[in-house]
Structure 1
């Protein structure tokens, strides 16, 4: 079962467990001790036995075998101890920066590590990023209508508002969407600006001023997070809903790149005799037509 279908496994609970283990010697703790620290007896005295909130959260993010496939997790459990997975990249275990990197670490574990248990979650997130950012379904009722309209109910299996709530919480935490209040209600927007900004250094191999072909950039992005165009989850979604023309980016990806350009993190250029990609815009009141061939990273402090 993925985090999409386990409402007790929220980003805040995962962060709490990870933050505690990050500072412990050896980055591990006895399960019983960890349970009582994160779910004190006084707070769970009227709850069901077995501390289900703690147990189900741990089960969603630890190494496990699903249908014969080993899904790599954030944590491992050996005998009576739970620890941060020592096979994670060194930066992802570094107490100085690991919590800051946790959204990226989880996105990789969920979507780019062959984690078969999260395939339904990957499809739902890819579907949401494929929606028109300027007219995206921003609440559960609108999601239901759009799923029905695009005839992807069997593919996504978004059958209740709890699943939408999990999608909302996790996509916002990983920087793939954000939420705001409108008319007294929360509305979600599929905007991956924060995720892409966090990963520019990696996508450009830490080379400030590096210029690459836009298609290569998109391929690198999809390799890191296959929710984006050309990634395995996005390809499956695009094949089912159609709508995106060849060499066109979705409005959510294009919007993120334009925001990053306007904030000074990247440059977007069109060079003659180069293959182009089209970045659609909300309107024509702009200084170019969205035809881009190259992207340049300006650095983190631009």
Structure 2
């Protein structure tokens, strides 16, 4: 079962277990002790099952490779990159560690969440569904309710997906005038965190848009040309070759406005079209500025 279907395995609960183990000697703890500390019995709401929220979060953390079970101990997976398990950087890098484990590691259990987030990012950001009801209607209209496993969707299921999207940096949410929660699938936060890595740490480095997108798709296959985006776009269509989705273009425009990157158009170079509302702009390269 994936984190999408396991409603009690949330990013904050998985992070809580991980943060505690980051500071423990040898980054491991006895499972019984860990359970008592992070899930006191008095807080257990399910009379038929002890520690359901903790157990589900721990199980999903182990299943995705974040943690390992070693006899009676639970430990951080020593195969994670050193920075991802370092006491001073592990928590900061936690969202990107999860993206790698959930989507870029051939994790079949999380393919349903991967396809659903890729579907959100493939929608027109200027006319995208922002409520559960609108999502349910649109997946039926686009004929992907079965492939996204939303044929019997519920607010709880989509609410879980929205929580994960926002935490991982692929969306943000706000309250409407009627106090309804609205979600905007827009990946600026994820891209901002990973710009330096995508440019391999080179200040003022320049990449063609094609190479940038290729690196991005390899790192996170929810974006254009990535595995999950390809699966979704094959069914819904809508994006022409050398065109970015509006969500990716919008995020890159925001990063340019913030001075993080510069989009340039060089002669005799392949152009990628960046849609922006009812307008379009063509760029060939992207430069890391700061």
Q: Shorter chain as normaliser: what TM range? A: over 0.9
DSSP-derived class of the 1:279 partner:
strand
How far 1:11 sits from its partner (Å)? 1.1
- Output one character per residue of 1:198-231: Cα deviation in whole Å (capped at 9) or x when no partner: 0001000000100010010001000000000000
1:224 matched to 2:223? The reply is no
What is the distance in 2 between the residues matched to 1:140 and 1:26?
A: 43
Q: Decide whether aligned partners of structure 1 residues 2 and 200 sit closer, same or farther in structure 2, where only a CA change above 3 A counts.
A: same
How far 1:46 sits from its partner (Å)? 6.3
Q: Give the structure 2 partner of residue 171 of structure 1.
A: 165
Q: Decide whether aligned partners of structure 1 residues 45 and 278 sit closer, same or farther in structure 2, where only a CA change above 3 A counts.
A: closer
Q: Structure 1-normalised TM-score?
A: 0.93
Q: How does 1:76-95 map to 2 (within 5 A)?
A: 76-95=68-87
1:282 matched to 2:288? The reply is no
What is the distance in 2 between the residues matched to 1:262 and 1:295?
A: 13
Q: Structure 2-normalised TM-score?
A: 0.97
Q: Decide whether aligned partners of structure 1 residues 84 and 258 sit closer, same or farther in structure 2, where only a CA change above 3 A counts.
A: same
What is the distance in 2 between the residues matched to 1:74 and 1:6?
A: 16
1:296 matched to 2:287? The reply is yes
What is the distance in 2 between the residues matched to 1:145 and 1:38?
A: 39
Q: Give the structure 1 partner of residue 268 of structure 2.
A: 273
Q: Give the structure 1 partner of residue 154 of structure 2.
A: 160
1:184 matched to 2:179? The reply is yes
Q: How many residues align?
A: 287
Q: Give the structure 2 partner of residue 5 of structure 1.
A: 5
What is the distance in 2 between the residues matched to 1:41 and 1:233?
A: 40
DSSP-derived class of the 1:194 partner:
helix
1:108 matched to 2:103? The reply is no
Instruction: Work out which of the residue numbers 130, 133, 146 in structure 1 matches 2:122.
Output: 130
Structure 1 consecutive aligned stretches of length 4 or more whose deviation exceeds 6 Å: none
Q: Give the structure 1 partner of residue 40 of structure 2.
A: 40
How far 1:50 sits from its partner (Å)? 2.8
Q: What residue ranges of structure 1 are gaps of 5+ in the alignment? A: 64-71
What is the distance in 2 between the residues matched to 1:160 and 1:105?
A: 28
What is the distance in 2 between the residues matched to 1:211 and 1:106?
A: 28
1:205 matched to 2:190? The reply is no
Task: Report if aligned partners of 2:46, 2:52 keep a CA contact under 8 Å in 1.
Answer: no
Q: Give the structure 2 partner of residue 240 of structure 1.
A: 235
What is the distance in 2 between the residues matched to 1:122 and 1:194?
A: 17
- Output one character per residue of 1:9-28: Cα deviation in whole Å (capped at 9) or x when no partner: 01111111111111101111
- Output one character per residue of 1:160-213: Cα deviation in whole Å (capped at 9) or x when no partner: 222101110000000000000112100000000000010001000000100010
Q: How does 1:44-83 map to 2 (within 5 A)?
A: 44=44, 47-63=47-63, 72-83=64-75
1:140 matched to 2:132? The reply is yes
